[in-house]
């Protein structure tokens, strides 16, 4: 495999980790815990794993000897920078305890466990992937691990390989499933521990115990670098408005963090759109006002950041999508028989008056996307809707109207972008390289101390790494009951942007100035070697949240 110069130099990087993990550790147990809500229901569903204490690891002078242990690992869901370092951390942790320990990776996500598709991860393999981006060491997948049948099939291979603990590296849904699996294996006395690890670039798996999900730091830095470059280009040519959509699924954490890093002229926060009950026209009008104000002083250029899930947070469009989902679920065949050119009119005729009017007002392309591309559950895949084009087009129409009314005097030319996949497999920043390695190493300690149903946690990460606090959080502690596909289910609460939180308040206090002034910041590429203030900065979100 040919390697770049950076890859070769980066392979030798030794991730920083909490001082407490560097030598022999002891486990300190805290008070019994409770779930964030719906305590009675969660307790009933998780009789074996509910109420366990928070734990932390501290260094000790006592020497402990450990039995060798076989561990399995799964990468679940979307890629996030640092996954390979979690695996390296687990590997080094279990080998440090006993050199005869072994690590097995299940291939292409949870399906690898169910289909018994695995490989042993030896030191040669691990060394090839240290500090690299991607999940390609074993691959990832989105198969949901949720039925008893799957759990039983998984147990056959775990037993065959003598695996005593399984680490599931995933987002909120995968960790919810890890908890259900932990409970099931406890209940049947399977003798297999299950440990979760918080992953997702979206940044929406965080709470009072988990400071951040890994990958968010690197992905935001990659997007901010490119947005910064675009801002410099647009401030040089002074002729385009750039509409930039950013990944992040429902939550707007990525858009908010990038806004804090680059100081754009406009940034939509979906959670605010919903809270203020804004319509699509309200949003378009507000962006158009910013464009018009900048044009008054001759600035016919700017940047607009758009979180990918925004369309679902516009209450009127959310209702429209819900009605379309229901309608198409029962009329799909009839719809497919209608000529393409007639489909739009057909939908307009069939929907309720309110939703029909909204549907009719949407540009052709977006209206079409809303009737296509359903996922296996019958829902519109909102991430495929080109919101950046929709907004650019609608703002253009609004400005043209204002021009004829004499309310706008500028030129409006646009460029559209979507940044998502570009950041998911980037080489992890020092923060993610260190955080992930520490999460993996912590997981090996949770395994050694016999824990199950815990998520690996590393806290205090705005401080230098040797002061980070390693431990474990019972996953049931993060759960509440939510309606999913018509049924109440125990799930980890997803963290959306908190409109009372410090990151949003900071953005809200600055945005009026950023809209009018050209106050761009150009973060530049992630730096791996150099002064700590350049290389080791956590996200602005984390810094602001930690100042509470
Ligand atoms: P996870 O939540 O699984 O980490 O995935 C995050 C994400 O990158 C979202 O931001 C995005 O909407 C989605 O995955 C895209 O999914 P896919 O990789 O299946 O296209």
**What structural domains does the chain harbor?**
23-215+428-484 (3.40.50.450), 217-424+500-519 (3.40.50.460)
Q: What pLDDT, on the 0 to 100 scale, is given for residue 379?
A: 66
Q: What pLDDT, on the 0 to 100 scale, is given for residue 256?
A: 98
CB atoms within 10 A of CB 401: 12
Torsion (CA) 142, 148, 153, 157 in degrees, nearest 10: 90
Percent of the chain beyond pLDDT 70? 98
Percent of the chain beyond pLDDT 90? 84
Q: Which of 202, 205, 258, when mutated, tests ligand 1's pocket best, judged by the most ligand atoms within 8 Å of its CB?
A: 202
Say which residue, 331 or 416, is predicted with more confidence.
Answer: 416
Q: What pLDDT, on the 0 to 100 scale, is given for residue 366?
A: 82
Q: Which atom of ligand 1 is nearest to the CA of 80?
A: 4
| Averaged pLDDT, 63-87 | 96
Helices (H) and strands (E) in the chain, counts: 22, 15
Alpha carbon of residue 150 to chain centroid: 25
How many Å lie between the centroid of ligand 1 and the Cα of residue 78? 5
Tell the residue number behind the tokens 């307009």, with chain if given.
348
The protein residue with its alpha carbon nearest to ligand 1, atom 18, reads 78
Measured CA to CA, the distance from residue 135 to residue 424 in angstroms comes to 10
pLDDT in tens, 310-363: 998 998 888 898 898 888 888 888 988 999 889 999 999 999 999 999 999 888
Q: Which residues are CB-contacts of 441 (< 8 A; sequence separation ≥ 6)?
A: 17, 21, 89, 90, 92, 93, 470
pLDDT in tens, 454-468: 999 999 999 999 999
Cα–Cα distances (Å) from 294 to 257, 269, 287, 399, 406, in that order, read: 24, 21, 11, 13, 16
The H or E element spanning position 482 is strand 479-484
How many Å lie between the centroid of ligand 1 and the Cα of residue 199? 11
Please check the confidence at residue 48 and state whether its pLDDT lies above 80.
yes
CA dihedral sign, ordered 119, 15, 495, 253: negative
pLDDT in tens, 423-441: 999 999 999 999 999 999 9
Say which residue, 470 or 386, is predicted with more confidence.
Answer: 470
The per-residue DSSP string of 208-250 comes to SS----BTHHHHHHHHHHHHHHHHHHHHHH---EEEEEE--TT
Q: Which of 75, 76, 77, when mutated, tests ligand 1's pocket best, judged by the most ligand atoms within 8 Å of its CB?
A: 77
For residue 216, which phi and psi values (nearest 5 degrees)? -60, -45
Q: Which residue, among 15, 123, 119, 130, has the nearest Cα to 84 in the 3D structure?
A: 130
Please check the confidence at residue 162 and state whether its pLDDT lies above 70.
yes
The protein residue with its alpha carbon nearest to ligand 1, atom 12, reads 249
Q: Are 81 and 133 in contact (CB under 8 A)?
A: yes
The H or E element spanning position 105 is strand 102-106
Q: What pLDDT, on the 0 to 100 scale, is given for residue 316?
A: 86
Tell the residue number behind the tokens 């947070």, with chain if given.
313
Say how many CA atoms lie within 13 Å of 99 toward its Cβ: 0
Query: Residues with beta carbon inside 6 Å of ligand 1?
Result: 77-78, 80, 171, 200-202, 247-249, 308, 383, 424
Told to judge if 202 belongs to the known catalytic residues of this protein, a careful annotator would answer yes
Measured CA to CA, the distance from residue 525 to residue 226 in angstroms comes to 8
Q: Which atom of ligand 1 is nearest to the CA of 79?
A: 4
pLDDT in tens, 278-309: 999 999 999 999 999 999 999 999 999 999 99
Tell the residue number behind the tokens 């020092």, with chain if given.
430
Please check the confidence at residue 485 and state whether its pLDDT lies above 80.
no
The catalytic position among 92, 172, 173, 202 is: 202
pLDDT in tens, 219-276: 999 999 999 999 999 999 999 999 999 999 889 999 999 999 999 999 999 999 999 9
Helices 315-337 & 353-361 angle (0-180, nearest 10): 90
Lowest-confidence region among 5-9, 83-87, 376-380, 510-514 = 376-380
How many Å lie between the centroid of ligand 1 and the Cα of residue 494? 14
Q: What pLDDT, on the 0 to 100 scale, is given for residue 212?
A: 98
Q: Which residue, among 107, 106, 89, 95, has the nearest Cα to 69 in the 3D structure?
A: 95
CA dihedral sign, ordered 514, 519, 520, 523: negative
Measured CA to CA, the distance from residue 158 to residue 386 in angstroms comes to 43
Q: What pLDDT, on the 0 to 100 scale, is given for residue 375?
A: 64
How many Å lie between the centroid of ligand 1 and the Cα of residue 365? 23
| Averaged pLDDT, 475-484 | 93
Measured CA to CA, the distance from residue 426 to residue 218 in angstroms comes to 7
């Amino acid at each position: 495999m040919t390697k770049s110069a950076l890859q070769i130099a980066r392979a030798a990087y030794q991730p920083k980790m909490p001082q407490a993990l560097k030598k022999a550790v002891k486990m300190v147990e805290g008070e019994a815990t409770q779930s964030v809500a719906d305590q009675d229901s969660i307790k009933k569903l998780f009789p074996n794993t509910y109420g366990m204490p928070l734990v932390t690891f501290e260094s000790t002078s006592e020497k402990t000897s450990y039995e060798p242990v076989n561990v399995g690992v799964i990468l679940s869901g979307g890629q996030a920078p640092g996954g390979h370092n979690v695996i390296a951390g687990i590997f080094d942790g279990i080998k440090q305890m006993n050199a005869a320990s072994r690590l097995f990776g299940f291939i292409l996500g949870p399906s690898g466990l169910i289909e018994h598709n695995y490989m042993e991860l030896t030191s040669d393999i691990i060394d090839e992937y240290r500090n690299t981006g991607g999940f390609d060491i074993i691959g990832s997948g989105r198969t949901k691990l949720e039925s008893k049948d799957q759990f039983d099939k998984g147990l056959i291979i775990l037993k065959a390989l003598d695996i005593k603990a399984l680490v599931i590296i995933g987002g909120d849904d995968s960790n919810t499933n890890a908890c259900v699996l932990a409970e099931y294996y406890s209940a049947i006395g399977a003798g297999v521990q299950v440990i979760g690890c918080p992953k997702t670039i979206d940044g929406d798996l965080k709470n009072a115990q988990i400071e951040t999900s890994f990958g968010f730091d690197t992905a935001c830095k990659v997007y901010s670098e490119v947005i910064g470059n675009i801002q410099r280009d647009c401030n040089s040519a002074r002729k385009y408005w750039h509409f930039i959509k950013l990944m992040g699924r429902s939550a707007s954490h990525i858009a908010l963090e990038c806004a804090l890093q680059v100081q754009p002229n406009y940034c939509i926060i979906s959670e605010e759109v919903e809270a203020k009950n804004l319509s699509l026209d309200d949003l378009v009008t507000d962006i158009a006002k910013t464009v018009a104000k900048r044009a008054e002083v001759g600035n016919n250029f700017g940047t607009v950041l758009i979180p990918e899930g925004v369309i679902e947070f516009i209450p009127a469009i959310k209702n429209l999508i819900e009605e379309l989902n229901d309608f198409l679920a029962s009329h799909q065949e009839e719809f497919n028989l209608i000529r393409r050119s007639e489909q739009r009119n057909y939908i307009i005729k069939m929907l309720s008056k309110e939703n029909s009017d909204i549907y009719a007002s949407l540009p052709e392309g977006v209206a079409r996307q809303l009737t296509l591309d359903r996922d296996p559950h019958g829902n519109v895949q909102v991430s495929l809707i080109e919101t950046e084009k929709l907004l650019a087009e609608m703002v253009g129409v609004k400005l043209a109207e204002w021009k004829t009314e004499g309310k706008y005097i500028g030129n409006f030319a646009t460029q559209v972008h979507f940044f998502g996949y570009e950041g998911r497999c980037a080489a992890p920043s020092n923060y993610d390289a260190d955080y992930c390695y520490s999460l993996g190493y912590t997981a090996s300690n949770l395994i050694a101390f016999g824990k199950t149903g815990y998520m690996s946690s590393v806290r205090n990460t705005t401080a230098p790494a040797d002061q980070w606090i390693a431990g474990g959080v019972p996953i049931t502690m993060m759960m509440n009951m939510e309606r999913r596909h018509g049924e109440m289910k125990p799930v980890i609460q997803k963290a959306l942007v908190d409109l009372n939180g410090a990151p949003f308040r900071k953005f809200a206090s600055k945005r009026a100035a950023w809209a009018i002034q050209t106050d761009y910041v150009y973060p530049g590429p992630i730096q791996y070697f150099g002064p700590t203030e350049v290389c080791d900065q956590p996200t602005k979100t984390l810094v602001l949240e930690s100042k509470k």
